[in-house]
């Protein structure tokens, strides 16, 4: 399952559920975000059913980024039961994303 694009309006419902949710805070102008995007999509496919992956554009949806103190991009946050369980700032390789998810889930 590919990453779901979410907004400030549906953020709270998107991070709820039985599965851990990885949220990618990104922006169109962010080079490292663009580099990491295909890796994150691939991991979303590989870990489908084990973790949910969501992406939120911080320029179009500033409320969620502000609420969770996002100061740099890309920022990945793992949510469990609607609460932040882990945070990673900066781009990662596909292998490192998968490792981080498994360590944090």
Which residue out of 14, 23, 33, 51 is catalytically annotated? 33
pLDDT of the residue at 2: 87
Q: Say yes or no to pLDDT of 1 above 80.
A: no
Q: Is the pLDDT of residue 100 over 90?
A: yes
Domains and CATH numbers, the chain: 4-104 (3.40.30.10)
44, 2 in Cβ contact below 8 A?
Answer: yes
- pLDDT attached to residue 70: 97
76 is catalytic: no
0.95 exceeded by the pTM? yes
Mean pLDDT over residues 25-31, rounded? 98
pLDDT, mean of residues 9-13: 97
pLDDT tens digits, 49-91: 999 999 999 999 999 999 999 999 999 999 999 999 999 999 9
List the catalytic residue out of 30, 51, 58, 76: 30
State residue 54's pLDDT score.
98
- Whether 33 sits among the annotated catalytic residues: the reply is yes
pLDDT digits (tens, 9 = 90+) for 38-48: 999 999 999 99
């Amino acid at each position: 399952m590919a990453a779901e694009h979410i907004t400030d309006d549906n953020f709270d419902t998107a991070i709820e559920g039985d599965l851990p949710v990885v949220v990618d805070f990104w922006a169109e102008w962010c080079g490292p975000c663009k580099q990491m995007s295909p890796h994150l999509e691939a991991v979303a496919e590989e870990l489908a059913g084990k973790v949910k992956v969501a992406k939120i554009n911080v320029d179009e949806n500033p409320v969620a980024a502000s609420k969770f103190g996002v100061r740099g991009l890309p920022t990945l946050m793992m949510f469990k039961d609607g609460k932040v369980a882990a945070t990673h700032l900066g781009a990662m390789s596909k292998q490192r994303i998968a490792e981080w998810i498994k360590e944090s889930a």
